[in-house]
Structure 1
Amino acid sequence: MSVSPLPQVARTSLVDSTIGLIRTQIESGAWKVGERIPKEQELADMMQVGRNTVREAIRVLSHANVLEVRQGDGTYVRLSVDPAEVMRRISRSSLGEHFEVRAMLETEAARLAALHRSTADIQTLRKLLKARGELRHHKTRESFVDADLAFHAAIARMSGNSALAELYRYFSGAGRTNAISVLDEQDLPEPDLKAHEAILTAIEEQMPERAAQAARSVIMPVVKTLLGKS
Structure 2
Amino acid sequence: MTSLGPLSRSPLVDQATQRLREQITGGHWPVGTRLPGETTLAKELGVGRSTVREAIRALSGAGLLAARQGSGVYVVATEPVEDWPARLRRAAVVDLYEVRTMVEVRAARIAAARRTDDDLEAMDLALARRRRAAEEAGDAEFVDADIALHTAVVAAGRNPLLTGLFADFAPVLRRGLIDLMALVDLRAHDPALGDDSHAALVEAVRVGDPDRAGQIIERELEGTLRLLRRETS
**Residue-by-residue CA offset, 1:155-185 (whole Å, 9 max, x unaligned):** 1111121111001001112332112112113
Decide which moves more: 62-71 or 206-215: 62-71
Counterpart for residue 88 of structure 2: 90
How far, CA to CA, are the matches of 1:66 and 1:158 in structure 2? 40
Task: Trace 1:197-212 onto structure 2 (pairs within 5 A).
Answer: 197-212=199-214
Using the TM superposition, give the Cα deviation of residue 137 of structure 1 relative to its aligned residue in structure 2, in angstroms: 1.8
Counterpart for residue 150 of structure 1: 148
**Residue-by-residue CA offset, 1:181-201 (whole Å, 9 max, x unaligned):** 121132758741111011101
How far, CA to CA, are the matches of 2:132 and 2:94 in structure 1? 23
In 2, are the aligned partners of 1:18 and 1:54 still within 8 Å (CA)?
Answer: no
What is the one-letter code of the residue matched to 2:102?
A: M
Aligned pair count reads 201
In 1, are the aligned partners of 2:115 and 2:206 still within 8 Å (CA)?
Answer: yes
In 1, are the aligned partners of 2:123 and 2:149 still within 8 Å (CA)?
Answer: yes
Of residues 115, 139, 164 in structure 1, which corresponds to 2:137? 139
Pair 226,211 (structure 1): closer, same or farther in 2 beyond 3 Å: same
Of residues 86, 111, 127 in structure 1, which corresponds to 2:109? 111
TM-score scaled by length of structure 2: 0.66
Using the TM superposition, give the Cα deviation of residue 225 of structure 1 relative to its aligned residue in structure 2, in angstroms: 2.1
How far, CA to CA, are the matches of 1:98 and 1:17 in structure 2? 34
Task: Trace 1:67-82 onto structure 2 (pairs within 5 A).
Answer: none
How far, CA to CA, are the matches of 1:129 and 1:66 in structure 2? 47
Secondary structure in 1 aligned to 2:83?
helix
In 2, are the aligned partners of 1:141 and 1:180 still within 8 Å (CA)?
Answer: yes
Secondary structure in 2 aligned to 1:185?
helix
Using the TM superposition, give the Cα deviation of residue 205 of structure 1 relative to its aligned residue in structure 2, in angstroms: 0.9
Counterpart for residue 182 of structure 1: 180
Decide which moves more: 148-157 or 55-64: 55-64
Secondary structure in 1 aligned to 2:86?
helix
Using the TM superposition, give the Cα deviation of residue 67 of structure 1 relative to its aligned residue in structure 2, in angstroms: 8.8
1:101 aligns with 2:103: no
1:162 aligns with 2:160: yes
What is the one-letter code of the residue matched to 2:84?
A: V
Counterpart for residue 34 of structure 1: none
Q: Between the two proteins, what is the percent identity of the paired residues?
A: 29
In 2, are the aligned partners of 1:41 and 1:51 still within 8 Å (CA)?
Answer: no
Whose Rg is larger?
2
Decide which moves more: 112-121 or 188-197: 188-197
Pair 40,108 (structure 1): closer, same or farther in 2 beyond 3 Å: farther
In 2, are the aligned partners of 1:107 and 1:212 still within 8 Å (CA)?
Answer: yes
How far, CA to CA, are the matches of 2:212 and 2:205 in structure 1? 8
What is the one-letter code of the residue matched to 1:131?
A: R
In 1, are the aligned partners of 2:133 and 2:145 still within 8 Å (CA)?
Answer: no
Secondary structure in 1 aligned to 2:183?
coil
Unaligned residue ranges in structure 2 (runs of 5+): 2-13, 26-30, 75-79
TM-score scaled by length of structure 1: 0.67
**Residue-by-residue CA offset, 1:135-167 (whole Å, 9 max, x unaligned):** 642422221111111111111111121111001
